[in-house]
Amino acid sequence: MEASLQATFDEAKHIVFLTGAGVSTPSGIPDYRSKNGLYTGHRNAEYYLSHTCLVQEPDVFYDYVKQNLYYPDAKPNVIHEKQAALTQQDRAMVITQNIDNLYNVAHTKHLVEFHGNMYKVHCQVCGAKVAWQDSTS
């Protein structure tokens, strides 16, 4: 079975990877809903990440996001690297829910970041780019 799966990848010309948090957990970034996930350890995590919280309590929102969603020292793992290599060969693309920037660090060529990227921040009022470290309100 394993050999045939590898042969399928070797022969494929058009691969689409649909990925989520499980790809980045080996890099030390928690997922959301598993036993040790982000939502498990925080009583109101879904609220803290909501548009309602952003609008009504922006300081709470930004504090929670900065403490729980940024992992600037995380490195791409073998999954990111192998998928990126296939995109660089123009044989694959990645569509990800992940917001952690690891596919960019791995130099993924054909990438759709479905939920955006926490390291590409802009002002909600004027649209100017903002360093993620400075995003506070």
Please give the angle made by the CA atoms of 94, 133 and 21, to the nearest 5 degrees. 30
Give yes or no: 115 in active site: yes
From CA 15, how far away is CA 2, in angstroms rounded?
18
Residue 87 makes CB contacts below 8 A (sequence gap 6+) with 93, 94, 108, 109, 110, 111
From CA 44, how far away is CA 61, in angstroms rounded?
11
The catalytically annotated residue of 14, 51, 115, 122 is 115
Tell me which residues are annotated as active site: 115
